Every structure is written in structure tokens, then in C-alpha cells.
Amino acid sequence: MPYPAAAPARLPSSPLALLVALHVAIVIASNYLVQLPVMLLGFHSTWGAFSFPFIFLATDLTVRLIGKAPARRVIARAMLPALAASYVVGVLFHDGRFNGWGALQDFNTFVFRIAFASFAAYVLGQLLDIQVFDRIRQKSRAWWLAPAAASLFGQALDTAAFFSIAFWRSSDPFMAANWVEIAAVDYAIKLAVSLLLFVPAYGVVLAAIVRSMRAQDGVPTAAAG
């Protein structure tokens, strides 16, 4: 399957707001799910490993369709709302249960540390993902290579930053003792999910978008390959 061609300048600016909202929603969900441990093949991990790869899919599609600069604007607009919303949701649903609105009256340093770690990891991981993706896509016509490489490096930095900032010498004894193992398993799961599910999904969604754009412009569908 050849790398589908796209016309970045033709896309309207309105999808940027939707992408920002999507990024914030995924970060919030992942920060909640990372508090829920799960055992996989005898290793400790969290449910957050299954949700966060969605962001890399959205970012790679953004870079491919409307360019590197707009993708960076999405991150710039999403990072502070994601930080604030992650803290609020983390306090309200700490340990996976609703703690009541009164929980917001006291500043929760444990939850804020997780929210800040997510903020730092999100910014670092996404910027690296954009850089790797954009550079490789310009040099290779293999449609899968850029998203695969970007996931490999971007998620490695994201995972290392998040778990080290959030749980190194944490007040949570379990996470303090197991964060390295959890981070390694988390990265392996996220990478597997990305390569097996989201990279193929990237190709399918991109091809569909390109066909739709060209159909609107009167270009034969067969030319989108």
C-alpha cells in the first residue's frame, strides 16, 4: 500500500479544536485509568496503557494532514487544560472511586504529582513523536514506517517521564516499589497496541480521509493511492 497523498492546506482550522478536546479527554481518561492496576502475564501494569496510544494516533494524523506546526499548536492548547482537568478528575476519583466534591477543598499533592507527571510526559512525548514522524514521512513512502517509529520513540519518552516523575519515591508504597516494572510493562503494552492496532488504523483512517477530500475536489478515487 503506497503512502497516501494529502493536501494539508485544504483542511479547515475547525478540526484543531476537536483535536485539542480529544487530547484532553484521552489524558484525563489515562490519568484515571493509571490508578487502576492490572496483572498481565504475571507483570504489574495499569489500564492506562490501553487508552493513551489514542493520542499518538491523533497526533500522527494531524501531522500528516495539516502539518507539524498545527500539531504543535494542538499540544500547546491542550496541555494546560489537560493538567487542570487531570487534577480535578484525579482528586474526585482517587483510587478509582468517587470521593465527593468536598475532596477538592484540600490540595492533594499525590494527585497533583500524577497530573504534573502526565503534563510533562505528554508534552515531551508528543513533541518527540511529531519530530520523528515528520522527519521519517518526508524520507519514506512506506505509509506505516513514520507512525511506527514515532510510537516507538515517543511512547518510550512519555512512559519514562511519567512514571519517574509520578512515582519515584512516591507516598504510595506499592507504586514506589513497582513503578519501574509497571513502566516497562506499560510501555510494552502501549507499543504492542500501537503497532498492532493503531498503526493499521492510522493507514485506514488516513486513506479514507484522503479519498473523501479528493472526491470533494472531483479527483477520481483511484488516484488517492
Cβ burial of 97 (10 Å; 0-12, 13-18, 19+) is: exposed
**DSSP secondary structure letters along 68-88:** HHHHHHHHHHHHHHHHHHHHH
Q: How many CA atoms lie within 13 A of 162 on its CB side?
A: 31
Spatial CA neighbour of 194 closest among 74, 22, 58, 84: 58
Question: What confidence tens digit (pLDDT) does each residue in 1-33 have?
Answer: 444 444 444 444 566 788 888 888 888 888 778
Q: What is the mean pLDDT of the chain?
A: 82
Helices 199-216/145-167 angle, 10° precision: 130
In this predicted model, which residue has the larger pLDDT, 47 or 150?
A: 150
- Give the residue carrying C-alpha cell 476537536: 18
Is the torsion defined by CA of 111, 158, 190, 175 positive or negative?
negative
Q: What pLDDT is recorded for position 155?
A: 92
C-beta separation of 67 from 11 below 8 A: no
Number of Cβ within 10 Å of residue 118's Cβ equals 28
Q: What is the mean pLDDT of residues 138-143?
A: 86
How far apart are alpha carbons 30 and 85 in whole angstroms? 12
Question: What confidence tens digit (pLDDT) does each residue in 94-130 have?
Answer: 776 788 888 889 898 888 898 899 889 999 999 999 9
How far apart are alpha carbons 148 and 153 in whole angstroms? 9
